[in-house]
Each structure stands twice: as C-alpha cells, then as structure tokens.
Amino acid sequence: MIMDIQQLIRESVEHLYAVKVPESLIQLQKTKKEFKGHWTLVVFPLLKISKKTPEQTATEIGECLLAKQSFITEFNVIKGFLNLVVSSGYWIRVLNTIHSTVNYGTKPVAENAPLIMIEYSSPNTNKPLHLGHIRNNLLGYSISEILKAAGNRVVKTNIVNDRGIHICKSMLAWKKWGNAETPESSKQKGDHLVGDYYVKFDREYKNELLQLEATGLSRKEAEEKSLLMSEAREMLRKWESGDNETLNLWNVMNSWVYAGFDETYKALGVDFDKIYYESQTYLEGKKKVLEGLEKGIFYRKNDGSVWSDLTADGLDEKLLLRSDGTSVYMTQDIGTAQLRFNDYPIEKMIYVVGNEQNYHFQALSLLLDKLGFEFGKGLVHFSYGMVELPDGKMKSREGTVVDADDLIAEMIDVARETSENLGKLDGYSSEEIEEVSRIVGLGALKYFILKVDPRKNIIFNPNESIDFNGNTGPFIQYTYARIRSVLRKAEEEKSIQWESLVVSPNISVNEKEGAIIQILSEFPAIINEASDNLSPAVIANYIYDLVKEYNQFYHDYSILREENEEKRKFRLILSQNAGKVIKTGFSLLGIRVPSRM
C-alpha cells in the first residue's frame, strides 16, 4: 500500500514541477497520533525541486493528489509535513487483498534466490547448553526464519566443538571416577552427566594445585607439576594419534552429549540443516593454512609456527598453527568454511556469536578473503550482547552458569503457576494445562529475549516475562487466543468459509479499524526491514503494536453483537487477519500461539 501512495506522490510531484524525481526523495511515514491523517510526506527533500516554501510545496502536492485520484480524501499541512487521510474504500480494498493472499507478508523462495548460511549454537561437548546458548539459538533460528520469509534460500548450520583438552578433561574424570556410570544408570541427561565430570575434573585439579602449593611451589610451578593435567594432555595426544581406546571413549561420551543436546534443541524449537564437527574440520583447516603458506599468503617463524600478518589491515599478527603443528580456533574456522563452501554455493555467511568474539571475526573475514573464499569479505558476524539473570532467580548446577534445561523447566513452572492463579486454565485437562504452560512459558522466554536489540546486554527476569499485560509474549498469546475464541463462536453460530468472505466496499471504516488495517498493511515491509537489519526485535515490536491496537478496538467495539451483518462480517475478517499476522509473525520468532487460553 505505501508503495502505491509513494508512486502516486512521485507522479504528482513530476506533474507539478516537470522534473524527474528519484524515489529516495519521496519520504513517507505514518502520521503521528496527535495529527489527523494516515500517512505523512516529509516535504523538505522536495524543496530544491519546487523552489517554494515547505507549506506552499505541501499544499500544492496535496491539492494535486486530491485532483488526481479518489482514495486520498483530505490533507492538512503542518509546517514541512503533508498529512494524508485515506478513504474507507481504500482500507477495505487493502483488507480484502490481505485476506485473500496466501502466506500474507512472506515471499516465496525462488530457485535463484541468494543462498545464505547461518551458523548458530556452537556448543562444546564437555557441558550442557546454558543461558548464553539460549539467546544464541533463539537469535540464529529467528534470523533464519525471517530471511526465508523475505525470499532468501537459507541453510542453518551448527559447529560442534568436540575436540581439544577441555573434552579430554571430562573423559579423564569419567575414566578415573565414573565407575562405568551412564545416562541410563544415573537417570540423567547425557550432556549433564558429562558436564558433571568436567566440573569434577576442575575440582580435583584445583585441589591438586593447592596441595602442590602447600609444599612451597608457586602457582605456575604447581601447574607444571600437575599429574592430572599431564594425564589430560596425554589423553589428547592419544586422541590425535588415533588411539582406539581413547577414540572409543570419546565416541561414547559424545553420543551421550548429542542425545542431550537434541532434547534441549527440541524443547527450544530450533533445528539445523547441517551440523559440522571440529574433529572433522581442523585437519582441513591445517591443509588450507599450509596451502596459504606455500603461496606466500602466510609465513613461518623460527619456532615453526605459522602466522598471518594483518597489520596492514589495522589488526595484528595472527597465529594459525602452533610450533608443534597443532591448530587453533582460527585454523578450525578456516577448515569449517572450506567444508561448507564445498557443500553449498554460499553467497553470504552469517556467524551468530557473542560480542566478545568481534576481533576474531574481523580477522577471519580477512583471512578467508586472502584464501580466495568468495564470501570472505561479505562475512557477517552477528554480534550480540550477553544475557544474565537476576541473582538468586534460577537454579545453577555450578553456581555461576544457568543450564538451559533448568531455565526451560522453570519457565514452564512459572507459566503454569501464573496462569492458574489468574484462572486462565480453569476447566482444562492435565494434558491441556501442560501444553499451554509449555507454550506460554517458552513464548515468554523467547519474546523477552528477542524483543530487545540484539546488540544490547539484557537481564532476563522470568517473572517479569510471564505477565499477561504489557510488552510480553503471554500478553500477545492471550490476545491471539481471544481472537480465536471470537472466531470459534462465530463459526458455531453460522457455518463460515473464511477464504471466500469478502468485505463490502460500502462499509464505513472507523479510526481504530483503519489503524489496524494500516498496521496489517505494513507487515511485508516489516519483514523486509527485519531481514535487512537481521533483527527479530523489529518483528516482535511490530506484533506488539498490532496487538495493542487490536485490544483497543476489541474494548471499544462489539464484534459478534454488531447488528449490521456486513459490519459484523467486516470485523470478523479484520479479527481473523489480525490473528493470521500475529501467528505468522510469532512463527518467525519461533514462538507458538495457543488457540485457547
């Protein structure tokens, strides 16, 4: 709709001043609530063309618009702003178009659409997923869904950090103190079981250091003398040399972790098209680095280590291979990029990783470009802030890190308790209570995190997030359930085929009804904006604005008890499409909506 008006304004300006007008000069925005109108033209960019005052220019354009067409019914001028009022008939045409459009707001994905790969999650196999992973997974999944809705081809990937000394610490602790314990024997999720042994290693290692320091050694000397750390390093050497016993233990314990991860991913509602493992990518990375060395892209120091000099690019020298030939994280990322590029014709690569890794991805982008990867310079580090909880609000296995599973379970419990206290689950079966509690609890968690600018640090308060008033997931979910309740009652009274309904063009649209249709009309542009800015917050806050507007309408006007049949049908269609957009918008955030609540 806004494009129609922009084109009409552009034609009017060209007619008035006999000059071709660039699209960029037609700046249209929603009229502020204190003024009469629906759309406002910012006139100032057009003054060089009109060579007149802002008021004169706005008035001339307004008069021209009234003369040229019928759907703009009046205008008013406030300094350099032209406020335009749109007719009821036009709003009806817009609503009928929205109502008849399948998958309204989203674009079909064409075969030749750009292929964008998005990496998110990136867990280690020595511990369960935690609160930081929750924000990472929610952002990565939502960005993927938004990009698809904007017409892009998307591949969702995960890189699992399944090798290195930290993995061997868990393995060694289990081997020394595990007594053959398994997830089945302990009745514990596999990732939690392995994580407990990682904590066990750390505890025993610290005790060993204290004992060594008690003999008069310094901390550094104690670390060098540690038998436990020496055993872990030896296990890593055996792993890298392909020792069967070590590899068998590694495979078994990783399988426990992967099963646990899958359970958490399922609970969060996220998935991946392809999972890569560092154990498979680090050798490929070493190969690419050695190729770069042969081509003179990198250089070797006297101790045998391999480096890249990025000082000309404003960074520093970057280590790629240690003197003993082992790889670093950068090497592994290069190898992962090579495997991904072999698998997919990537046009853009997006890494969803916290802002503490900003420098790493600046360097990776330069290195990939030097190595000839087409997406190197276009690499996008989606850098996001940290998320924390208020002290004492959640359980924590280690005292400092909040497990994702604990947080999910707590959110469901809080949702159940809050909903029951408010009477929103009266008459529900135990199965329905559990289902709604899960939908609301996870919706509250996801919305609270995704509505915030990703670059900002946030403090997540579970009780604040589960509030049926204000800018929260449950408030929006409850509004959707309210809409569904209205539509069900209408269906019970009379058999309705929603797809075939059309609103009469003779209906008079009041201010609140027009405001809802105007917001609905913006949905395709909102998806494009969220896609361009990689911001789920754009979708979240748009849906909140829609819900606020709908609730005001619902409070002020009758729907089912409206006596005029055409008006009642119009309000039902308006409600049905508001619900449709809420559901679609929330699906882009990975949030479900309950049909009853």
Per residue of the chain (597 residues), what is the pLDDT tens digit? 677 788 899 999 999 999 999 989 999 999 998 999 999 999 999 999 999 999 999 999 999 999 987 789 999 999 899 999 999 999 999 999 999 998 999 999 988 999 999 999 999 999 999 988 999 999 999 999 999 999 999 999 999 999 989 999 999 999 999 999 999 999 999 999 999 999 999 999 999 999 999 999 999 999 999 999 999 999 999 998 999 999 999 999 999 999 999 999 999 999 999 999 999 999 999 999 999 999 999 999 999 999 999 999 999 999 999 898 888 889 999 999 999 999 999 999 999 999 999 999 999 999 999 999 988 888 999 999 988 877 644 444 444 568 899 999 999 999 999 989 988 888 899 999 999 999 999 999 999 999 999 989 998 888 888 888 889 999 999 999 999 999 999 888 776 766 667 888 889 999 999 999 999 999 999 999 999 999 999 999 999 999 999 999 999 999 999 999 899 999 999 999 999 999 999 999 999 999 988
Q: Where are the alpha helices (DSSP H) in 307-403?
A: 329-343, 358-370
Q: How many angstroms separate the CA atoms of 280 and 44, rounded?
A: 58
- pLDDT on residue 399: 47
Residues recorded for the chain? 597
- pLDDT on residue 153: 97
Q: How many angstroms separate the CA atoms of 106 and 131, rounded?
A: 31
Strand partners, 307: 299, 319
The H-or-E segment that residue 48 falls in is helix 47-50
Cα dihedral across residues 269, 271, 277, 281: positive or negative: negative
Q: How many angstroms separate the CA atoms of 157 and 149, rounded?
A: 18
The H-or-E segment that residue 116 falls in is strand 115-119
- Amino acid identity at 81: F
- pLDDT on residue 463: 81
Nearest one of 78, 79, 83 to 53, comparing CA atoms: 79
* E-strand stretches of 434-481: 458-459
Q: How many angstroms separate the CA atoms of 115 and 306, rounded?
A: 33
Question: Structural domains in the chain?
Answer: 2-86 (3.30.1360.70), 87-106+468-597 (1.10.730.10), 115-271+330-388 (3.40.50.620), 390-466 (no CATH)
Q: How many angstroms separate the CA atoms of 514 and 434, rounded?
A: 38
Q: How many angstroms separate the CA atoms of 258 and 273, rounded?
A: 16
Cα dihedral across residues 95, 101, 106, 111: positive or negative: negative
Cα dihedral across residues 210, 211, 212, 214: positive or negative: positive
Nearest one of 280, 292, 314 to 373, comparing CA atoms: 292
Q: How many angstroms separate the CA atoms of 272 and 583, rounded?
A: 22
Provide the pairing of β-strand 274-277 with 153-160: parallel
- pLDDT on residue 491: 86
Q: Where are the alpha helices (DSSP H) in 150-226?
A: 165-177, 183-186, 190-214, 219-225
Strand partners, 352: 382
Nearest one of 43, 41, 16 to 31, comparing CA atoms: 41
- b/e code 122-154 from CB counts within 10 Å (16+ = b): bbbbbbbbbbbbbbbbbbbbbbbbbbbbbbbbb
| DSSP assignment letter at 327 | B
| DSSP assignment letter at 179 | T
- pLDDT on residue 370: 93
- pLDDT on residue 264: 97
CA angle in degrees (0–180, nearest 5) for 98-101-107: 105
Predicted structure pTM score: 0.91
Q: Is 575 helix (H, G, I), strand (E, B) or coil?
A: helix
- pLDDT on residue 391: 65
Tokens standing for 293?
């060395």
Q: Is 24 helix (H, G, I), strand (E, B) or coil?
A: helix
Q: How many angstroms separate the CA atoms of 140 and 116, rounded?
A: 12
Are 387 and 375 in contact by the 8 Å Cβ rule? The answer is no
